[in-house]
Structure 1
Amino acid sequence: MFDVLVYLYENYWRPDACPDHAQLTRKLSAVGFENDEIEEALTWLEGLSHAVKSHAGTQSPGSMRVYTQAEQDQLGEECIGFISFLESAGVLPAPMREIVIDRAMASSAGGPVRLEDLKIIVLMVFWSLGEEPDALILDELFVDAADRLIH
């Protein structure tokens, strides 16, 4: 599913630039994605669209987030820490945070969400809102920590 999401991000500058569901399914299939992977990604994106609509303006700035046990189990320490980092950096406001958590909980990773997958989720939330993250945040989302050069 995440490979399909990355493909969509790289090839369509906004969600409304994507073709309709049937045409997009055919195109993704022609590129080489499996049908179940395509359907899972498109269903996830539909959920993202609903989450964006339902979470708009639901959290006040600076609100404190307490994670449920189910969220802690699904997200794990590393992902919760990354979400907190993005919040403290001022690039992930509370409504966006809630969408990220909603979509991470909806991913069928089967266990804790991997940090790499959470980064894709964050990227897709920005994409769905028609926003581009700050260049430093893009670096954080795309560059593997092991590949960073320390000066």
Structure 2
Amino acid sequence: MFDILMYLFENYIHSEVEVVVDHDELTDELARAGFHRQEIQKALAWLERLADLQDSQSKPYLDHSPGKSTRVYTAAEAARMDTQSRGFLMYLEKLGVLDFETREMVIDRVMELETPQFTIDDLKWVVLMVLFNVPGQEAAYDQMEGLLFEEPEGLLH
């Protein structure tokens, strides 16, 4: 499913090509690209749920008063996202790339992925997909895109 999301993001969304609106046409095109129809349906449902998360009614877990709170991860979230991934989310919050709401959207989308292994690189792509789909997050998207594609210079400590 994640491969399909990456394919869609790279070939349609990120390249700013006009996205095929017809669900059946898109499904057929993805099937011709070699993806299984069941996985295609899961990926499209994942994207639809991402769009639904922008509606405040579908986010009962947000109390809109984050203050100086600390995010405590559930056992399932900690099992899916290792310490490095959770630390990266905290880093993105400190940079201002994510706010508490977009962080929760990212976690929600990560938990919906059906992938046996989830890496920090996968997390970066999920963050990019979420930010792309949230109106008003263009600057954060650009900043995240820079973080995703930048090559480290010099020695890393």
Residues 59 and 150 of structure 1, relative CA distance in 2, 3 Å threshold: farther
Measure, in 2, the Cα distance between the counterparts of 1:150 and 1:136. Answer: 21
Query: Which structure would you say has the larger Rg?
Result: 2
* Superposed CA RMSD: 2.6
Aligned length: 146
The offset of 1:50, in angstroms, is 2.3
The offset of 1:32, in angstroms, is 2.9
Match in the other structure for 2:133: 128
CA shift digits 1:67-124 (9 cap, x unpaired): 122211221111101110110001101110110011111111235x311211111111
Q: TM-score when scaled to structure 1? A: 0.79
Match in the other structure for 1:47: 49
CA shift digits 1:10-51 (9 cap, x unpaired): 31357x944132121112222333323312211211221222
Measure, in 2, the Cα distance between the counterparts of 1:142 and 1:84. Answer: 19
**Which consecutive residues of structure 2, in runs of 5 or more, have no partner in the other structure?**
none
Match in the other structure for 2:3: 3
Q: TM-score when scaled to structure 2? A: 0.77
- Which structure is higher in RCO with an 8 Å CA cutoff and minimum separation 6? 1
Residues 48 and 136 of structure 1, relative CA distance in 2, 3 Å threshold: closer
For residues 1-150 of structure 1, the aligned pairs below 5 Å read: 1-10=1-10, 11-12=12-13, 17-53=19-55, 54-55=58-59, 58-64=63-69, 65-110=71-116, 113-130=118-135, 131-132=137-138, 133-143=140-150, 148-150=152-154
Measure, in 1, the Cα distance between the counterparts of 2:24 and 2:130. Answer: 23
**Which consecutive residues of structure 1, in runs of 5 or more, have no partner in the other structure?**
none
